[in-house]
Amino acid sequence: MNSIKESAIQAFRSKDALIGIVGLGYVGLPLMLRYNDIGYRVLGLDVDEKKVDQLNAGQSYIEHIHSEKVSRARKNGFEATIDFSRASECDALILCVPTPLNKYREPDMSYVISTADSIKPFLRPGQVVSLESTTYPGTTEEELLPRVEEGGLKVGENIFLVYSPEREDPGNPNFETRTIPKVIGGHTAACLEVGVALYEHAIDQVVQVSSTKAAEMTKLLENIHRAVNIGLVNEMKVVADRMGIDIFEVVDAAATKPFGFTAYYPGPGLGGHCIPIDPFYLTWKAREYGLHTRFIELSGEVNQAMPEYVVSKLMDGLNESSKALKGSRVLVLGIAYKKNVDDMRESPSVEIMELLEAKGCRVAYSDPHVPVFPEMREHHFNLSSEPLTAESLATFDAVILATDHDKFDYEMIRQHARLLVDSRGKYRAPEAHIIKA
């Protein structure tokens, strides 16, 4: 019997273990709150000193996670730090760091690798390391395994390694960290046992798979499924529009079929940290095996073309009023990537704004969840959210509904926008000044 393994399992089951969350963003922060809520001691590690200071002051920097929850977690013993040497104190290290694409649409593993390099001097017997970042099959074995074992530890014997992909859906009121089933794969059978013990109290249902690779592929399949189906319905939208058919009416009607159909709705493009990015992780890895993922690449082409499609519909609308795009004042409604959140990652709204600015438009935005345009790695607008009133709407030549937040007054927008480009299907009745995009 492996006494180190049994001791680790017992520490998680008795809640004596210290849980280390590395990366305190949209994934790490809810996970921290969940472990803290159920009585575990939690230490958060992050490289962003400003973020760490905010959390230690009991303040949240994510809109849908209220500061009261962070404050309560602090009172219950949660602490955040930039000192990665404290990883040695933790019985579990759960890595929740970004995995973006570079400009060539190849995986950028720098965050995972730098995080692994930061913690590896402080690894010790009895710990479990869990990677939650979405990535290509083989990452845990190829990148984490050698780093974890570099100092003489042996995975499966005196330290444990698992992959368990995050499944957060920010702003979704129907699901929370606890209620979303958790897929987990271990590098060895012992790793899997320890990993299950780590998560079984925090998550209602833990789903075991045979390997870290199978768990990595599971996460990619989930997001590829969405990307391909959204690409399909976005392509159908263009066809339906040319034929004078409302695609939203068609999807609603098709969704009444009680089997064999899942409703996906078109939009101005793909956003968020998962759906626009993750499919290309498999595309990249498949090339190593001499394979081409044609469905993924085709859906990527269709979805990436949607911001330009929205701009082309705006141009058509302005032409009807004998107006040029250049010099027109255009208001973009909603710049978060989806409704009712403040998350800007990969937002198609930002690409629409850049396309409009490049064509000479004077661009503004209104978003109740994003009062000031944030600093982003690749995009920057020196703008603040415009107040949305009848008077302000009337000053714009056109309004583009890009993200359909519930806080918008849609009737007021309908009445006072001179030209309204609707990319979200909020306005079903035909009107002369409303263009469906």
Active site members: 274
Cα dihedral 127, 133, 138, 142 sign: negative
Distance, CA of 65 to CA of 286 (rounded, Å): 37
Show Cβ contacts of residue 412 under 8 Å, excluding neighbours closer than 6 positions: 388, 389, 390, 393
CA angle 298, 229, 29 (to 5 degrees): 105
Q: 380-388 contacts: CB < 8 A, separation 24 or more?
A: 381/350, 381/353, 381/357, 386/331, 388/333, 388/412, 388/413
- DSSP annotation of 184: E
The angle, 0 to 180 degrees and rounded to 10, between the axes of the packed helices 28-37 and 67-75 is 50
Distance, CA of 203 to CA of 201 (rounded, Å): 6
Maximum Cα–Cα distance for the chain, whole Å?
Answer: 81
Which residues are bridge partners to 183 per DSSP?
207
Residues in the chain: 437
